Amino acid sequence: MSSLLSVRDLKVGFGPRPESNEVVHGVSFDLAPGETLAIVGESGSGKSVTSMAVNRLIDFGGGRITSGSAAFTRADGSTIDLARAEERQLEGIRGREIGMIFQEPMTSLNPVLSIGTQIEEVFRVHFAMSGTEAKTAAREALERVRIPDAARRLTYAPHQLSGGMLQRVMIAIALASNPRLLIADEPTTALDVTIQAQIMGLLSEMKRETGTGMIFITHDIGLVAGFADRVMVMQQGEVVEQGMLDAVLDNPQHDYTKHLLNAVPHFSDGRSVRHDMQRDADSRRVLEVEDLTVRFPVRAGLLKRQTGNVHAVEGVGFDLMQGETLGIVGESGSGKSTTARAILDLVRPTKGRIRAEGLAGAVSDRPVQMVFQNPNASLNPRLTVKQLLAEPLIAVRRRIDAEAVSRMVMLLDRVGLPADSLARYPHEFSGGQRQRLCIARALMLNPSILVLDEAVSALDVSVQAKVLDLLIDLQNEFGLAYLFVTHDMAVVERIAHRIAVVYAGQIVEIGPTSEVLANPRHDYTRQLIRAVPSLDRRHSDYGIDLTEIPSLVRPVGWEPEAARYESAGADHLVRAGA
Amino acid sequence: MSLLRDLLRHPSGRIGLIITVLFLLAAVAGKAGLSPFDPLAQDRLARLQAPSASHLFGTDMFGRDVLSRLMVGVAQSFIVSFFSVAVATLAGTVLGLTAAWYGGLWDGIVMRLMDVLLAFPAILLALLIIAIMGPSGWTSILAIAIVYTPIFTRVVRGPALSLKRRDFVDAARSFGSSRRYIMSRHLALNLVAPLTVQITLALAWALITEAGLSFLGLGTQPPQASLGLMLADARNLMEMAPWLLLVPAVALSFAVLGFNLLGDALRDLLDPKTRRALA
Amino acid sequence: MPYPLKRLLAFPLVMFGVSVFVFIAIRLVPGDAITAMLGTESGLLTPAQREALTAYFGLDQNIFVQFWRWLAGVVQGDFGISTTYGQPVLRVIFDHFPLTLELAVLSMLLSLVIGLPAGIYAATHKDRPGDLAVRVIAMLGQSTPGFVVGLLLIFSLSVFFGVLPRMGSFVPFRQDPVGNLAQMILPALTLGTAFAAAVIRVSRSAMLDILSEDYVRTARSKGLSRRRVIWRHALPNALIPLVTLSGVEFGYLLGGAVLVEQIFALPGLGRVVLDAIQQRDYALVQGTILFIAFNFMVVNLLVDLAYAALDPRIRFETK
Of C223, C236, C310, the CB nearest to A95: C223
Task: Look at residue A556 in the predicted model and tell me its pLDDT.
Answer: 83
* Interface residues from chain C to A (CB-CB < 8 Å): 1, 9, 211-226, 228, 232-233, 236-237, 240, 310-313, 316, 318
Closest chain B residue to the Cα of A446, Cα to Cα: B175
Of B116, B254, B279, the CB nearest to C241: B279
- Rounded to 10 degrees, the C-alpha dihedral B183/B184/B189/B195 comes to 80
Task: Look at residue B93 in the predicted model and tell me its pLDDT.
Answer: 93
Of B119, B215, B256, the CB nearest to C18: B119
**What 8-state DSSP symbol labels residue C41?**
G
d(CA C40, CA C34): 10
Chain C residues with CB under 8 Å of B279 CB are: 202, 205, 241, 245
Task: Look at residue C313 in the predicted model and tell me its pLDDT.
Answer: 73
- For residues A442-471, one letter each, b for 16 or more C-beta atoms within 10 angstroms of the residue's C-beta and e for the rest, the string is bbbbbbbbbbbbbbbebbbbebbbbbbebb
Contact of A468 with chain B, judged by CB distance below 8 Å, is answered with no
Residue B221 confidence class, pLDDT cut points 50, 70, 90: confident
d(CA A376, CA A430): 9
On the 0-12 / 13-18 / 19+ scale of CB atoms within 10 A, B168 is buried
Nearest CA to CA, how far is B191 from chain C (Å)? 22
pTM of the predicted protein model: 0.83
Mutation for testing the B interface, residue in C107, C148, C160, C319 having most B CBs under 10 Å: C148
Contact of A385 with chain C, judged by CB distance below 8 Å, is answered with no
Task: Look at residue B66 in the predicted model and tell me its pLDDT.
Answer: 81
DSSP 3-state of B59: strand
Of C223, C226, C237, the CB nearest to A112: C237
Contact C143 B204 (CB under 8 A): yes
Contact B125, B143 (CB under 8 A): yes
- Kindly tell me the sign of the dihedral angle through the C-alpha atoms of B67, B68, B69, B74: positive
Contact A63, A241 (CB under 8 A): no
Contact B190 A380 (CB under 8 A): yes
Of B168, B177, B189, the CB nearest to A377: B168
DSSP 3-state of A313: strand
Lowest-confidence pick of A336-345, A488-497, B26-35, B37-46? B37-46
- Rounded to 10 degrees, the C-alpha dihedral C185/C187/C193/C199 comes to -60
Q: State how beta strands A213-218 and A230-235 pair.
A: unpaired
Contact A24, A11 (CB under 8 A): yes
Contact C22 B128 (CB under 8 A): yes
**What 8-state DSSP symbol labels residue A540?**
P
Chain B residues with CB under 8 Å of C17 CB are: 112-113, 115-116, 119
Task: Look at residue A564 in the predicted model and tell me its pLDDT.
Answer: 86
Contact B190 A382 (CB under 8 A): yes
Q: Which pLDDT tens digits describe chain C residue by residue (319 residues)? A: 456 666 777 788 888 888 888 888 877 776 666 666 666 666 677 778 777 777 776 667 777 888 888 888 888 888 888 878 888 989 999 999 999 999 999 999 999 999 999 999 999 998 899 999 999 999 999 999 989 999 999 888 887 877 776 666 777 777 777 888 888 888 999 999 989 999 999 999 999 999 989 999 999 999 999 999 999 999 999 998 898 888 888 888 888 889 999 888 888 999 898 888 888 787 888 888 889 888 888 888 888 788 777 777 766 544 3
- The share of chain A scoring above pLDDT 70, in percent, equals 95
Please name the residues in contact with B30: beta carbons below 8 A apart, sequence gap of 6 or more.
B39, B68, B70, B71, B72, B73, B74, B75
Cα-flanking dihedrals φ and ψ of residue A8, to 5°? -130, 120
Residue B218 confidence class, pLDDT cut points 50, 70, 90: confident
Contact of A157 with chain C, judged by CB distance below 8 Å, is answered with yes
Contact A380 B189 (CB under 8 A): yes
d(CA B243, CA B51): 8
Task: Look at residue C37 in the predicted model and tell me its pLDDT.
Answer: 63
Terminal CA-CA length for chain B: 27
Closest chain A residue to the Cα of B171, Cα to Cα: A378
Contact C9 A96 (CB under 8 A): no
Task: Look at residue A364 in the predicted model and tell me its pLDDT.
Answer: 60
DSSP B196-264: HHHHHHHHHHHHHHHHHHHHTTSSSPTTS--HHHHHHHHGGGTTT-HHHHHHHHHHHHHHHHHHHHHHH
Task: Look at residue C319 in the predicted model and tell me its pLDDT.
Answer: 35
Give the per-residue SS3 of A372-393. Answer: CCCCCCCCCCCCCHHHHHHHHH
Mutation for testing the B interface, residue in A348, A391, A400, A452 having most B CBs under 10 Å: A391
- For residues A382-413, one letter each, b for 16 or more C-beta atoms within 10 angstroms of the residue's C-beta and e for the rest, the string is bbbbbbbbbbbbbbeebeeeeebeebbbebbe
Task: Look at residue A297 in the predicted model and tell me its pLDDT.
Answer: 86
Closest chain B residue to the Cα of C148, Cα to Cα: B249
Contact A301 C1 (CB under 8 A): yes
Q: Which residues, in sequence order, are bridge partners of residue A326?
A: A483, A498
Task: Look at residue A546 in the predicted model and tell me its pLDDT.
Answer: 63
Nearest CA to CA, how far is A345 from chain B (Å)? 7
Q: State how beta strands A5-14 and A481-486 pair.
A: unpaired
- Kindly tell me the sign of the dihedral angle through the C-alpha atoms of A105, A111, A117, A122: negative
Task: Look at residue A517 in the predicted model and tell me its pLDDT.
Answer: 92
d(CA B221, CA B204): 21
Residue B234 has pLDDT above 90, yes or no: no
Contact B176 A396 (CB under 8 A): yes
pLDDT (average), residues A330-353: 90
From residue A449, how far is each of A292, A360, A456, B246 by CA, in Å? 18, 13, 17, 73
Of C220, C223, C236, the CB nearest to A60: C220
Of B132, B218, B231, the CB nearest to C28: B132
The amino acid occupying position B90 is L
Residue A442 has pLDDT above 70, yes or no: yes
d(CA A483, CA A326): 5
pLDDT (average), residues A351-367: 76
d(CA C2, CA C4): 6
On the 0-12 / 13-18 / 19+ scale of CB atoms within 10 A, A53 is buried
Residue A197 has pLDDT above 60, yes or no: yes
Closest CA to C111 of C202, C207, C204, C188: C188
Nearest CA to CA, how far is C151 from chain A (Å)? 43
Contact C312 A111 (CB under 8 A): yes
- Give the side-chain half-sphere CA count within 13 A for C98: 9
**Mind listing the pLDDT tens digit for each residue in A530-545?**
888 877 766 566 666 6
Judged by CB atoms within 8 Å, which residues 222-251 of A form the interface with B?
A: none
Terminal CA-CA length for chain A: 54
Q: How many CB pairs under 8 A join A and B?
A: 61
- For residues B169-207, one letter each, b for 16 or more C-beta atoms within 10 angstroms of the residue's C-beta and e for the rest, the string is bbbbbbbbbeeeebbebbbbebbebbbbbbbbbbbbbbb
Mean pLDDT of chain A: 88
pLDDT (average), residues A351-375: 80
Mutation for testing the C interface, residue in B12, B107, B124 having most C CBs under 10 Å: B124
From residue A413, how far is each of A76, A418, A488 by CA, in Å? 63, 6, 28
d(CA A146, CA C296): 49
- Give the side-chain half-sphere CA count within 13 A for C179: 10
Q: Which of residues C49 and B181 earns the better pLDDT score? A: B181
Task: Look at residue A544 in the predicted model and tell me its pLDDT.
Answer: 62
Task: Look at residue B11 in the predicted model and tell me its pLDDT.
Answer: 85
Task: Look at residue C13 in the predicted model and tell me its pLDDT.
Answer: 83
**Mind listing the pLDDT tens digit for each residue in A540-563?**
666 666 666 677 788 888 888 888
d(CA A249, CA C170): 86
Task: Look at residue B278 in the predicted model and tell me its pLDDT.
Answer: 34
Q: If phi over 0 gives left and psi between -120 and 50 gives alpha, with beta otherwise, what is residue A8?
A: beta
Q: Which chains touch A (3 or more CB pairs under 8 A)?
A: B, C
Cα-flanking dihedrals φ and ψ of residue B184, to 5°? -80, -40
Residue A276 has pLDDT above 90, yes or no: no
DSSP 3-state of C201: helix
Cα-flanking dihedrals φ and ψ of residue A210, to 5°? -100, -15
